[in-house]
Structure 1
Amino acid sequence: MPAAPTPPLVLTFAPSDPSAGSGIQADLLTCASMGCHALTVMTGYTVQDSAGLEDAEAIAPEWIDDQARSLLEDMPVRAFKVGGLFAAEAVAAVAEILADYSAVPVVLHLGADPPDTDDAEMEDTAEEVMAATLELLIPQATVVVADGLRLAQLAADGLLETDSPEETAAQALLRRGAAWVLTTGLHQPGDIVVNTLRGGGDSAAEPAGEYRWPRLPGNFRGAGATLSAALAALLANGMEVRDAVPEAQEYTWRSLASGFQPGMGRLLPDRFFWARQGDEPAAPGADGSPSGPTEDAS
Protein backbone atom coordinates (compact mmCIF):
# COMPACT_ATOMS: atom_id res chain seq x y z
CA MET A 1 0.00 0.00 0.00
CA PRO A 2 1.56 3.34 -1.01
CA ALA A 3 2.24 5.94 1.65
CA ALA A 4 -0.22 8.80 2.07
CA PRO A 5 0.83 12.23 0.75
CA THR A 6 3.06 14.14 3.16
CA PRO A 7 1.38 17.23 4.63
CA PRO A 8 3.26 20.53 4.37
CA LEU A 9 6.15 20.62 6.83
CA VAL A 10 6.74 23.60 9.12
CA LEU A 11 9.96 23.79 11.13
CA THR A 12 9.52 25.77 14.34
CA PHE A 13 12.25 27.10 16.62
CA ALA A 14 10.80 27.65 20.09
CA PRO A 15 11.20 26.77 23.77
CA SER A 16 9.16 24.16 25.56
CA ASP A 17 6.11 25.58 27.34
CA PRO A 18 4.67 23.01 29.78
CA SER A 19 1.28 24.78 29.74
CA ALA A 20 1.03 24.61 25.91
CA GLY A 21 -0.09 28.23 25.94
CA SER A 22 2.85 29.12 23.70
CA GLY A 23 6.16 27.58 22.68
CA ILE A 24 6.68 24.35 20.77
CA GLN A 25 3.55 22.74 22.19
CA ALA A 26 1.37 25.58 20.88
CA ASP A 27 3.06 25.44 17.47
CA LEU A 28 2.40 21.70 17.23
CA LEU A 29 -1.29 22.21 17.98
CA THR A 30 -1.70 25.13 15.59
CA CYS A 31 0.13 23.55 12.66
CA ALA A 32 -1.75 20.27 13.07
CA SER A 33 -5.06 22.11 13.23
CA MET A 34 -4.23 23.83 9.93
CA GLY A 35 -3.25 20.68 8.07
CA CYS A 36 0.53 20.83 8.50
CA HIS A 37 3.08 18.63 10.21
CA ALA A 38 5.31 20.53 12.63
CA LEU A 39 8.99 19.69 13.00
CA THR A 40 10.40 21.11 16.20
CA VAL A 41 13.74 22.53 17.28
CA MET A 42 13.77 23.18 21.00
CA THR A 43 15.58 26.38 21.99
CA GLY A 44 15.15 26.14 25.75
CA TYR A 45 13.23 24.81 28.72
CA THR A 46 10.85 26.98 30.71
CA VAL A 47 9.05 26.98 34.01
CA GLN A 48 5.63 28.47 33.41
CA ASP A 49 1.96 27.91 33.98
CA SER A 50 -1.24 29.53 32.77
CA ALA A 51 -0.27 32.76 34.56
CA GLY A 52 3.05 33.31 32.83
CA LEU A 53 6.76 32.64 32.56
CA GLU A 54 8.78 32.16 35.76
CA ASP A 55 12.16 30.94 34.54
CA ALA A 56 13.94 29.73 31.43
CA GLU A 57 17.09 27.81 30.59
CA ALA A 58 18.68 28.03 27.16
CA ILE A 59 19.78 25.08 25.05
CA ALA A 60 23.30 25.29 23.64
CA PRO A 61 23.49 26.79 20.14
CA GLU A 62 25.27 23.65 18.90
CA TRP A 63 22.26 21.57 19.89
CA ILE A 64 19.91 24.00 18.14
CA ASP A 65 22.01 23.72 14.98
CA ASP A 66 22.22 19.92 15.16
CA GLN A 67 18.48 19.53 15.71
CA ALA A 68 17.60 21.72 12.74
CA ARG A 69 20.12 20.40 10.26
CA SER A 70 19.31 16.75 10.94
CA LEU A 71 15.68 17.51 10.06
CA LEU A 72 16.45 19.75 7.08
CA GLU A 73 18.78 17.19 5.53
CA ASP A 74 16.03 14.58 5.77
CA MET A 75 12.76 16.37 4.96
CA PRO A 76 11.59 19.20 2.65
CA VAL A 77 10.50 22.06 4.92
CA ARG A 78 7.96 24.50 3.46
CA ALA A 79 8.11 27.26 6.12
CA PHE A 80 10.04 28.32 9.22
CA LYS A 81 8.53 29.81 12.36
CA VAL A 82 10.95 31.40 14.84
CA GLY A 83 9.84 32.04 18.41
CA GLY A 84 11.66 32.45 21.71
CA LEU A 85 15.47 32.44 21.78
CA PHE A 86 17.45 32.90 25.00
CA ALA A 87 21.00 33.73 23.90
CA ALA A 88 22.61 35.88 21.22
CA GLU A 89 24.63 32.84 20.14
CA ALA A 90 21.37 30.95 19.57
CA VAL A 91 20.12 33.79 17.38
CA ALA A 92 23.31 33.55 15.33
CA ALA A 93 22.89 29.78 14.95
CA VAL A 94 19.31 30.16 13.70
CA ALA A 95 20.34 32.98 11.35
CA GLU A 96 22.97 30.74 9.72
CA ILE A 97 20.39 28.01 9.19
CA LEU A 98 17.87 30.40 7.64
CA ALA A 99 20.56 31.79 5.34
CA ASP A 100 21.34 28.28 4.08
CA TYR A 101 17.65 27.76 3.24
CA SER A 102 16.85 31.25 2.02
CA ALA A 103 14.11 30.09 -0.37
CA VAL A 104 11.93 28.94 2.55
CA PRO A 105 9.59 31.63 3.98
CA VAL A 106 10.24 32.73 7.57
CA VAL A 107 7.69 33.94 10.11
CA LEU A 108 9.45 35.66 13.01
CA HIS A 109 7.44 36.26 16.20
CA LEU A 110 8.77 39.10 18.36
CA GLY A 111 5.93 38.99 20.84
CA ALA A 112 7.05 36.33 23.29
CA ASP A 113 6.75 37.36 26.92
CA PRO A 114 10.13 38.31 28.44
CA PRO A 115 10.94 36.86 31.87
CA ASP A 116 9.49 38.89 34.73
CA THR A 117 12.67 39.50 36.68
CA ASP A 118 14.67 42.13 38.53
CA ASP A 119 17.92 40.31 37.71
CA ALA A 120 20.14 42.82 35.88
CA GLU A 121 22.14 40.06 34.20
CA MET A 122 19.02 38.46 32.75
CA GLU A 123 17.80 41.85 31.54
CA ASP A 124 21.15 42.45 29.82
CA THR A 125 20.93 39.03 28.17
CA ALA A 126 17.41 39.79 26.92
CA GLU A 127 18.68 43.04 25.37
CA GLU A 128 21.57 41.18 23.70
CA VAL A 129 19.12 38.64 22.27
CA MET A 130 16.88 41.38 20.89
CA ALA A 131 19.81 43.29 19.41
CA ALA A 132 21.04 40.12 17.68
CA THR A 133 17.52 39.36 16.46
CA LEU A 134 17.15 42.81 14.93
CA GLU A 135 20.53 42.53 13.22
CA LEU A 136 20.51 38.91 12.06
CA LEU A 137 16.93 37.65 11.80
CA ILE A 138 14.89 40.69 10.73
CA PRO A 139 16.64 40.90 7.33
CA GLN A 140 15.71 37.26 6.64
CA ALA A 141 12.08 37.47 7.77
CA THR A 142 9.26 37.07 5.29
CA VAL A 143 6.80 38.27 7.93
CA VAL A 144 7.53 39.74 11.35
CA VAL A 145 4.64 39.42 13.83
CA ALA A 146 4.99 41.84 16.74
CA ASP A 147 2.85 43.56 19.35
CA GLY A 148 2.64 47.30 18.69
CA LEU A 149 3.39 48.29 22.27
CA ARG A 150 6.47 46.10 22.37
CA LEU A 151 7.78 47.64 19.15
CA ALA A 152 7.20 51.10 20.55
CA GLN A 153 9.09 50.14 23.71
CA LEU A 154 12.01 48.80 21.67
CA ALA A 155 12.18 52.13 19.87
CA ALA A 156 11.92 54.07 23.14
CA ASP A 157 14.73 52.00 24.67
CA GLY A 158 16.98 52.69 21.69
CA LEU A 159 17.20 49.04 20.60
CA LEU A 160 15.25 49.77 17.41
CA GLU A 161 16.46 53.00 15.85
CA THR A 162 14.11 55.06 13.71
CA ASP A 163 15.37 57.43 11.04
CA SER A 164 13.06 60.27 12.02
CA PRO A 165 10.34 61.12 14.55
CA GLU A 166 7.77 60.32 11.84
CA GLU A 167 9.10 56.81 11.16
CA THR A 168 7.23 54.07 13.05
CA ALA A 169 8.89 51.03 14.59
CA ALA A 170 7.25 48.82 11.94
CA GLN A 171 8.70 51.01 9.19
CA ALA A 172 12.10 50.71 10.86
CA LEU A 173 11.83 46.90 10.65
CA LEU A 174 11.03 47.13 6.94
CA ARG A 175 14.05 49.36 6.47
CA ARG A 176 16.16 46.71 8.21
CA GLY A 177 15.10 44.16 5.58
CA ALA A 178 11.87 42.48 6.70
CA ALA A 179 9.58 41.83 3.72
CA TRP A 180 6.37 42.32 5.72
CA VAL A 181 5.51 43.43 9.27
CA LEU A 182 2.21 42.54 10.94
CA THR A 183 1.75 44.75 14.00
CA THR A 184 -0.90 43.61 16.46
CA GLY A 185 -2.93 45.88 18.73
CA LEU A 186 -4.03 43.41 21.39
CA HIS A 187 -2.56 45.50 24.20
CA GLN A 188 -3.83 48.83 22.93
CA PRO A 189 -6.97 50.27 24.62
CA GLY A 190 -10.38 50.19 22.98
CA ASP A 191 -13.19 47.81 22.06
CA ILE A 192 -11.64 47.09 18.67
CA VAL A 193 -8.26 45.42 18.16
CA VAL A 194 -6.51 46.90 15.13
CA ASN A 195 -3.80 44.87 13.40
CA THR A 196 -1.76 46.51 10.64
CA LEU A 197 0.19 44.94 7.78
CA ARG A 198 3.00 46.84 6.10
CA GLY A 199 5.46 45.89 3.37
CA GLY A 200 5.33 43.89 0.20
CA GLY A 201 6.86 46.68 -1.84
CA ASP A 202 4.07 49.12 -0.94
CA SER A 203 4.87 52.55 0.39
CA ALA A 204 6.04 52.14 3.96
CA ALA A 205 4.11 55.29 4.85
CA GLU A 206 0.78 53.56 4.13
CA PRO A 207 -0.35 50.19 5.48
CA ALA A 208 -0.89 47.35 3.01
CA GLY A 209 -3.83 46.20 5.12
CA GLU A 210 -5.64 47.17 8.31
CA TYR A 211 -7.77 44.61 10.13
CA ARG A 212 -10.26 45.37 12.89
CA TRP A 213 -11.46 42.72 15.33
CA PRO A 214 -13.93 43.03 18.22
CA ARG A 215 -12.04 42.72 21.50
CA LEU A 216 -12.83 39.51 23.33
CA PRO A 217 -13.34 39.54 27.10
CA GLY A 218 -10.66 37.96 29.25
CA ASN A 219 -6.87 37.86 29.49
CA PHE A 220 -5.23 35.44 27.07
CA ARG A 221 -1.88 33.71 26.74
CA GLY A 222 -0.60 32.56 23.37
CA ALA A 223 -2.45 34.86 20.96
CA GLY A 224 0.71 35.98 19.16
CA ALA A 225 2.17 32.48 19.12
CA THR A 226 -1.05 31.15 17.59
CA LEU A 227 -1.16 33.91 14.97
CA SER A 228 2.45 33.48 13.88
CA ALA A 229 2.26 29.67 13.73
CA ALA A 230 -1.00 29.85 11.76
CA LEU A 231 0.64 32.25 9.33
CA ALA A 232 3.61 29.90 8.88
CA ALA A 233 1.23 27.00 8.25
CA LEU A 234 -0.66 28.94 5.59
CA LEU A 235 2.59 29.95 3.86
CA ALA A 236 3.64 26.30 3.94
CA ASN A 237 0.36 25.50 2.21
CA GLY A 238 1.38 27.83 -0.60
CA MET A 239 -0.65 30.95 0.20
CA GLU A 240 0.63 34.43 -0.56
CA VAL A 241 1.27 36.73 2.40
CA ARG A 242 -1.58 39.13 1.55
CA ASP A 243 -4.06 36.23 1.56
CA ALA A 244 -2.55 34.34 4.49
CA VAL A 245 -2.53 37.31 6.92
CA PRO A 246 -6.34 37.79 7.19
CA GLU A 247 -6.96 34.03 7.27
CA ALA A 248 -4.41 33.53 10.06
CA GLN A 249 -6.09 36.32 12.03
CA GLU A 250 -9.53 34.76 11.62
CA TYR A 251 -8.22 31.38 12.81
CA THR A 252 -6.62 33.09 15.82
CA TRP A 253 -9.77 35.07 16.65
CA ARG A 254 -11.88 31.90 16.57
CA SER A 255 -9.32 30.08 18.73
CA LEU A 256 -9.46 32.89 21.28
CA ALA A 257 -13.26 33.11 21.14
CA SER A 258 -13.32 29.43 22.13
CA GLY A 259 -10.62 29.94 24.76
CA PHE A 260 -10.69 28.08 28.05
CA GLN A 261 -9.18 28.62 31.50
CA PRO A 262 -7.43 25.41 32.56
CA GLY A 263 -5.91 26.84 35.74
CA MET A 264 -5.85 29.91 37.93
CA GLY A 265 -4.14 32.12 35.34
CA ARG A 266 -5.03 33.34 31.89
CA LEU A 267 -7.23 31.88 29.17
CA LEU A 268 -5.61 29.67 26.53
CA PRO A 269 -6.69 29.50 22.87
CA ASP A 270 -8.55 26.39 21.71
CA ARG A 271 -6.64 25.66 18.52
CA PHE A 272 -9.00 22.79 17.69
CA PHE A 273 -12.19 24.79 18.17
CA TRP A 274 -13.55 23.39 14.91
CA ALA A 275 -13.36 19.81 16.21
CA ARG A 276 -15.57 20.42 19.25
CA GLN A 277 -19.27 19.70 19.30
CA GLY A 278 -21.65 22.59 18.67
CA ASP A 279 -21.43 25.59 16.41
CA GLU A 280 -18.12 27.26 15.69
CA PRO A 281 -17.82 30.81 17.02
CA ALA A 282 -18.57 33.33 14.29
CA ALA A 283 -15.88 35.87 13.51
CA PRO A 284 -17.75 39.19 13.56
CA GLY A 285 -16.64 42.36 11.87
CA ALA A 286 -16.05 45.64 13.65
CA ASP A 287 -19.78 46.35 13.68
CA GLY A 288 -20.57 43.01 15.33
CA SER A 289 -21.89 41.35 12.16
CA PRO A 290 -20.64 37.80 11.39
CA SER A 291 -18.76 38.90 8.30
CA GLY A 292 -15.15 38.53 9.40
CA PRO A 293 -12.66 41.34 9.96
CA THR A 294 -13.10 44.83 8.65
CA GLU A 295 -10.16 45.41 6.34
CA ASP A 296 -8.96 48.72 4.91
CA ALA A 297 -6.34 47.88 2.30
CA SER A 298 -4.51 50.57 0.40
Structure 2
Amino acid sequence: MSARVALTVAGSDPSGGAGIQADLKTFAALGAYGTAVLTALTAQSTRGVAGVHVVPAEFVREQLQVLLDDVAVHAVKTGMLADTAVTRVVAQVLGAHPAPLVVDPVMVATSGDRLLDASAVAAVRDELVPVADLVTPNVPEAAVLLGAEPARDAGEVVAQAEELLRRTGTAVLLKGGHLGGPESVDVLAEPGGTHRITRPRLGTGSAHGTGCTLSSAIAAVAARGDGVPVSWLPAVEEARDYLQGALAAAGDLRVGSGAAPLDHSFAQRTHRRTT
Protein backbone atom coordinates (compact mmCIF):
# COMPACT_ATOMS: atom_id res chain seq x y z
CA MET A 1 0.00 0.00 0.00
CA SER A 2 1.33 3.45 -0.91
CA ALA A 3 2.22 5.83 1.91
CA ARG A 4 -0.26 8.53 2.87
CA VAL A 5 1.71 11.76 2.64
CA ALA A 6 1.29 14.95 4.68
CA LEU A 7 3.15 18.18 3.94
CA THR A 8 4.04 20.94 6.37
CA VAL A 9 4.92 24.42 5.13
CA ALA A 10 6.34 26.27 8.11
CA GLY A 11 9.37 27.57 9.99
CA SER A 12 12.02 25.61 11.82
CA ASP A 13 12.31 25.33 15.62
CA PRO A 14 15.76 23.97 16.57
CA SER A 15 14.49 23.05 20.04
CA GLY A 16 12.08 20.58 18.43
CA GLY A 17 8.95 21.66 20.26
CA ALA A 18 7.17 23.57 17.51
CA GLY A 19 7.36 24.34 13.80
CA ILE A 20 8.56 21.86 11.21
CA GLN A 21 10.09 19.58 13.82
CA ALA A 22 6.85 19.22 15.81
CA ASP A 23 4.85 18.75 12.62
CA LEU A 24 7.02 15.90 11.35
CA LYS A 25 6.93 14.15 14.74
CA THR A 26 3.15 14.45 14.78
CA PHE A 27 2.78 13.14 11.23
CA ALA A 28 4.86 10.09 12.13
CA ALA A 29 2.95 9.44 15.35
CA LEU A 30 -0.35 9.40 13.44
CA GLY A 31 0.84 7.24 10.57
CA ALA A 32 1.50 9.81 7.84
CA TYR A 33 4.69 10.07 5.82
CA GLY A 34 5.95 13.58 6.51
CA THR A 35 7.32 16.02 3.96
CA ALA A 36 8.33 19.62 4.63
CA VAL A 37 8.94 22.98 2.95
CA LEU A 38 10.75 25.55 5.09
CA THR A 39 9.66 29.19 5.16
CA ALA A 40 12.02 30.46 7.86
CA LEU A 41 14.96 29.44 10.03
CA THR A 42 14.93 30.52 13.65
CA ALA A 43 17.58 30.80 16.32
CA GLN A 44 15.38 29.40 19.06
CA SER A 45 15.46 27.41 22.27
CA THR A 46 12.88 26.60 24.92
CA ARG A 47 13.68 30.07 26.32
CA GLY A 48 12.47 31.92 23.22
CA VAL A 49 13.34 33.16 19.74
CA ALA A 50 16.60 35.06 19.33
CA GLY A 51 16.49 35.55 15.55
CA VAL A 52 14.64 34.73 12.33
CA HIS A 53 16.01 34.24 8.82
CA VAL A 54 13.21 34.28 6.23
CA VAL A 55 13.58 31.98 3.24
CA PRO A 56 13.20 34.00 -0.01
CA ALA A 57 9.71 33.64 -1.43
CA GLU A 58 10.85 32.35 -4.81
CA PHE A 59 12.86 29.60 -3.15
CA VAL A 60 9.76 28.63 -1.15
CA ARG A 61 7.94 28.42 -4.48
CA GLU A 62 10.72 26.23 -5.91
CA GLN A 63 10.61 23.90 -2.89
CA LEU A 64 6.85 23.48 -3.28
CA GLN A 65 6.85 22.99 -7.03
CA VAL A 66 9.71 20.48 -7.09
CA LEU A 67 8.09 18.45 -4.31
CA LEU A 68 4.54 18.53 -5.69
CA ASP A 69 5.74 17.60 -9.18
CA ASP A 70 7.14 14.36 -7.75
CA VAL A 71 5.23 13.34 -4.62
CA ALA A 72 1.50 12.68 -4.28
CA VAL A 73 0.64 14.79 -1.21
CA HIS A 74 -2.66 13.87 0.48
CA ALA A 75 -2.96 16.74 2.98
CA VAL A 76 -1.13 19.99 3.74
CA LYS A 77 -0.79 22.24 6.77
CA THR A 78 0.80 25.67 6.95
CA GLY A 79 2.34 27.32 9.98
CA MET A 80 4.71 30.27 10.26
CA LEU A 81 4.89 32.02 6.88
CA ALA A 82 7.11 34.90 8.00
CA ASP A 83 6.22 37.69 5.54
CA THR A 84 3.83 38.88 2.82
CA ALA A 85 5.80 37.56 -0.15
CA VAL A 86 6.06 34.04 1.28
CA THR A 87 2.37 34.02 2.24
CA ARG A 88 1.33 35.01 -1.28
CA VAL A 89 3.49 32.33 -2.91
CA VAL A 90 2.12 29.66 -0.57
CA ALA A 91 -1.46 30.77 -1.26
CA GLN A 92 -0.89 30.69 -5.02
CA VAL A 93 0.72 27.26 -5.15
CA LEU A 94 -1.43 25.49 -2.56
CA GLY A 95 -4.61 27.15 -3.79
CA ALA A 96 -4.13 25.25 -7.05
CA HIS A 97 -3.39 21.91 -5.33
CA PRO A 98 -6.28 19.51 -4.64
CA ALA A 99 -5.16 18.16 -1.25
CA PRO A 100 -7.02 19.32 1.88
CA LEU A 101 -5.32 22.43 3.26
CA VAL A 102 -5.22 23.20 7.00
CA VAL A 103 -4.00 26.73 7.79
CA ASP A 104 -2.65 27.52 11.23
CA PRO A 105 -2.52 31.34 11.00
CA VAL A 106 0.59 31.92 13.11
CA MET A 107 0.13 35.64 13.78
CA VAL A 108 -0.04 36.19 17.54
CA ALA A 109 2.15 34.47 20.14
CA THR A 110 0.80 33.16 23.44
CA SER A 111 2.49 36.20 25.04
CA GLY A 112 0.31 38.46 22.90
CA ASP A 113 3.17 39.59 20.65
CA ARG A 114 2.33 40.08 16.97
CA LEU A 115 4.39 37.75 14.75
CA LEU A 116 3.42 39.25 11.38
CA ASP A 117 3.23 42.83 10.16
CA ALA A 118 -0.06 44.31 8.92
CA SER A 119 0.51 43.55 5.23
CA ALA A 120 1.36 39.92 5.93
CA VAL A 121 -1.71 39.56 8.15
CA ALA A 122 -3.81 40.92 5.29
CA ALA A 123 -2.27 38.35 2.91
CA VAL A 124 -3.13 35.52 5.32
CA ARG A 125 -6.70 36.81 5.74
CA ASP A 126 -7.45 37.74 2.14
CA GLU A 127 -5.34 35.32 0.08
CA LEU A 128 -4.50 32.22 2.12
CA VAL A 129 -7.53 31.59 4.35
CA PRO A 130 -10.02 31.72 1.41
CA VAL A 131 -8.18 28.88 -0.40
CA ALA A 132 -7.89 26.76 2.77
CA ASP A 133 -10.29 24.02 3.79
CA LEU A 134 -9.83 24.54 7.54
CA VAL A 135 -8.29 27.43 9.48
CA THR A 136 -7.24 26.98 13.13
CA PRO A 137 -6.79 30.38 14.86
CA ASN A 138 -6.42 30.87 18.59
CA VAL A 139 -8.51 33.55 20.31
CA PRO A 140 -6.15 36.50 19.59
CA GLU A 141 -5.64 35.39 15.98
CA ALA A 142 -9.38 35.11 15.34
CA ALA A 143 -9.75 38.65 16.65
CA VAL A 144 -7.08 39.86 14.22
CA LEU A 145 -8.73 38.06 11.28
CA LEU A 146 -12.10 39.62 12.16
CA GLY A 147 -10.84 43.07 13.19
CA ALA A 148 -12.60 42.56 16.53
CA GLU A 149 -11.85 42.35 20.23
CA PRO A 150 -10.74 38.90 21.46
CA ALA A 151 -13.49 36.56 22.62
CA ARG A 152 -14.02 36.64 26.39
CA ASP A 153 -16.05 33.47 26.90
CA ALA A 154 -17.20 30.31 25.14
CA GLY A 155 -20.28 32.02 23.72
CA GLU A 156 -18.17 34.68 22.04
CA VAL A 157 -15.83 31.97 20.70
CA VAL A 158 -18.83 30.34 19.02
CA ALA A 159 -19.99 33.66 17.57
CA GLN A 160 -16.54 34.54 16.21
CA ALA A 161 -15.99 31.09 14.70
CA GLU A 162 -19.33 31.31 12.90
CA GLU A 163 -18.63 34.85 11.71
CA LEU A 164 -15.23 33.86 10.34
CA LEU A 165 -16.87 30.95 8.49
CA ARG A 166 -19.49 33.33 7.09
CA ARG A 167 -16.89 35.81 5.84
CA THR A 168 -14.41 33.36 4.33
CA GLY A 169 -16.39 30.23 3.42
CA THR A 170 -13.63 28.23 5.12
CA ALA A 171 -14.31 25.86 8.02
CA VAL A 172 -12.96 27.26 11.30
CA LEU A 173 -11.54 25.57 14.38
CA LEU A 174 -11.30 28.39 16.92
CA LYS A 175 -9.08 27.24 19.79
CA GLY A 176 -10.34 28.47 23.15
CA GLY A 177 -7.31 27.62 25.25
CA HIS A 178 -6.63 31.29 26.09
CA LEU A 179 -9.88 31.56 28.03
CA GLY A 180 -8.86 29.54 31.08
CA GLY A 181 -11.18 27.51 33.28
CA PRO A 182 -11.32 23.80 34.15
CA GLU A 183 -12.01 22.78 30.56
CA SER A 184 -10.47 23.68 27.22
CA VAL A 185 -13.24 24.40 24.72
CA ASP A 186 -12.52 24.60 20.99
CA VAL A 187 -15.26 25.46 18.50
CA LEU A 188 -15.53 23.95 15.02
CA ALA A 189 -17.76 25.95 12.67
CA GLU A 190 -18.32 24.35 9.27
CA PRO A 191 -21.12 24.50 6.70
CA GLY A 192 -22.84 21.48 8.27
CA GLY A 193 -23.04 23.01 11.74
CA THR A 194 -21.13 24.17 14.80
CA HIS A 195 -19.56 21.82 17.33
CA ARG A 196 -17.86 22.27 20.70
CA ILE A 197 -14.80 20.07 21.32
CA THR A 198 -14.16 19.93 25.07
CA ARG A 199 -11.30 18.35 27.00
CA PRO A 200 -10.21 18.69 30.66
CA ARG A 201 -7.59 21.41 31.05
CA LEU A 202 -4.27 19.88 32.07
CA GLY A 203 -2.15 21.73 34.61
CA THR A 204 1.12 21.49 32.74
CA GLY A 205 3.82 24.02 31.95
CA SER A 206 4.85 21.90 28.97
CA ALA A 207 2.69 23.47 26.29
CA HIS A 208 5.17 24.81 23.73
CA GLY A 209 3.98 23.92 20.23
CA THR A 210 0.36 23.04 20.98
CA GLY A 211 -1.00 24.97 17.99
CA CYS A 212 1.51 23.48 15.56
CA THR A 213 0.83 20.02 16.91
CA LEU A 214 -2.96 20.25 16.70
CA SER A 215 -3.02 21.52 13.12
CA SER A 216 -0.48 18.95 11.95
CA ALA A 217 -2.43 16.19 13.71
CA ILE A 218 -5.58 17.23 11.84
CA ALA A 219 -3.65 17.18 8.56
CA ALA A 220 -2.20 13.74 9.33
CA VAL A 221 -5.70 12.33 9.90
CA ALA A 222 -7.03 14.08 6.79
CA ALA A 223 -4.24 12.52 4.71
CA ARG A 224 -5.88 9.11 5.18
CA GLY A 225 -8.86 10.20 3.09
CA ASP A 226 -9.36 10.89 -0.58
CA GLY A 227 -10.17 14.60 -0.47
CA VAL A 228 -11.68 17.30 1.70
CA PRO A 229 -13.74 15.66 4.50
CA VAL A 230 -17.52 16.10 4.41
CA SER A 231 -17.11 17.11 8.05
CA TRP A 232 -13.88 17.96 9.84
CA LEU A 233 -15.28 16.83 13.19
CA PRO A 234 -13.87 13.24 13.28
CA ALA A 235 -10.38 14.48 12.30
CA VAL A 236 -10.51 17.26 14.88
CA GLU A 237 -11.67 14.88 17.62
CA GLU A 238 -8.86 12.40 16.91
CA ALA A 239 -6.28 15.18 16.68
CA ARG A 240 -7.48 16.68 19.96
CA ASP A 241 -7.18 13.29 21.67
CA TYR A 242 -3.60 13.00 20.39
CA LEU A 243 -2.79 16.49 21.66
CA GLN A 244 -4.27 15.65 25.06
CA GLY A 245 -2.02 12.60 25.32
CA ALA A 246 1.07 14.58 24.27
CA LEU A 247 0.29 17.24 26.87
CA ALA A 248 -0.35 14.72 29.63
CA ALA A 249 2.97 12.96 29.04
CA ALA A 250 5.05 16.10 28.51
CA GLY A 251 6.21 16.45 32.09
CA ASP A 252 8.39 13.34 31.75
CA LEU A 253 10.56 14.82 29.00
CA ARG A 254 12.45 17.54 30.93
CA VAL A 255 13.87 19.17 27.79
CA GLY A 256 15.42 22.63 28.19
CA SER A 257 14.99 25.18 30.94
CA GLY A 258 12.24 27.33 29.39
CA ALA A 259 8.82 26.57 27.91
CA ALA A 260 8.93 22.80 27.76
CA PRO A 261 7.72 20.87 24.68
CA LEU A 262 5.01 18.26 24.32
CA ASP A 263 5.81 14.56 24.17
CA HIS A 264 4.93 13.84 20.56
CA SER A 265 6.06 10.21 20.92
CA PHE A 266 4.08 9.46 24.08
CA ALA A 267 2.30 6.44 22.60
CA GLN A 268 5.56 4.80 21.54
CA ARG A 269 7.16 5.50 24.92
CA THR A 270 4.16 4.01 26.72
CA HIS A 271 4.33 0.92 24.51
CA ARG A 272 8.04 0.43 25.29
CA ARG A 273 7.43 0.73 29.04
CA THR A 274 4.69 -1.91 28.96
CA THR A 275 6.46 -4.52 26.79
TM over 0.5: yes
Change (3 A) 1:117 1:273: closer
1:80 aligns with 2:80: no
1:107 and 2:102 correspond: yes
Contact 1:88-1:132 within 8 A present in 2 as well: yes
Partner of 1:213: 199
2:254 to 261, 272, 275: 261
Determine if the alignment matches structure 1 residue 89 to structure 2 residue 75: no
Distance, in Å, in 2 between the alignment partners of 1:195 and 1:115 is 16
Structure 2 counterpart of 1:34, from 30, 41, 52: 30
Letter in 1 for 2:196: E
Distance in 1, matches of 2:245 and 2:157, equals 35
In structure 2, the CA distance between the partners of 1:278 and 1:112, relative to structure 1 (3 Å rule), is farther
Quick check: 2:102–2:132 contact (8 Å CA) kept in 1?
Answer: yes
Deviations 1:105-157 (A, max 9, x none): 00000246549899xxxx69522211100000111111111112332355456
Specify whether residues 114 and 53 from structure 1 end up closer, same or farther in structure 2 by C-alpha distance, changes over 3 A only: farther
Counterpart of 1:247 in structure 2 is 238
- Secondary structure of 1:11 counterpart: strand
| Distance in 1 between residues matched to 2:166 and 2:122, nearest whole Å | 15
2:258 maps to 1:271: no
AA at the equivalent of 2:99: V
| AA in 1 matched with 2:137 | A
Kept in 2: contact 1:184–1:194 (CA 8 A): yes
1:199-221 residue CA offsets vs partner (Å, 9 max, x unmatched): 1343xxxx2x1121111112310
AA of the residue aligned to 2:61: D
Distance 1:91 1:263 in 2: 31
Take 1:229 and 1:77, find their aligned partners in 2: how far apart are those partners? 14
Question: How do 1:151-230 and structure 2 match up within 5 A?
Answer: 151-155=142-146, 168-202=159-193, 207=194, 209-219=195-205, 220-230=207-217
Q: Which has the larger radius of gyration?
A: 1
Residue of 224, 230, 235 corresponding to 1:237:
224
Q: Which amino acid is the alignment partner of residue 14 of structure 2?
A: P
Is the Cα contact below 8 Å between 2:112 and 2:140 reproduced in 1? no
Q: Which of residues 14, 17, 20 in structure 1 aligns to 2:10?
A: 14
More helix by share: 2
Q: Which runs of 4+ in 1 moved over 3 A?
A: 111-118, 153-158, 165-169
Alignment: residue pair count: 260
Higher RCO structure (Cα 8 Å, ≥6 apart):
2
TM-superposed CA distance for 1:256, in Å, is 0.8
Q: Deviations over 1:57-113 (max 9, x none)?
A: 211110000001101000111011110011111111001111221x21000002465
Structure 2 stretches lacking a partner, 5+ long: 150-155
The alpha carbon displacement at 1:266 in A equals 1.5
Q: Secondary structure at the match of 1:262?
A: coil
* 1:225-284: CA deviation from partner (whole Å, max 9, x where unpaired): 1100000000001183221110100001101111133011112111111111346xxxxx
Q: Secondary structure at the match of 1:89?
A: helix
Identity %: 32
**TM-score (normalizing by structure 2):** 0.86
| Cα-to-partner distance string for 1:138-195 (whole Å, 9 max, x where unaligned) | 111111111123323554569xxxxxx9994323321333431111121212111111
The DSSP-based 3-state class of the residue aligned with 1:41 is strand
Amino acid at match of 1:97: V
SS at match of 1:93: helix
Gap change, CA 1:230 and 1:117, over 3 Å in 2? closer
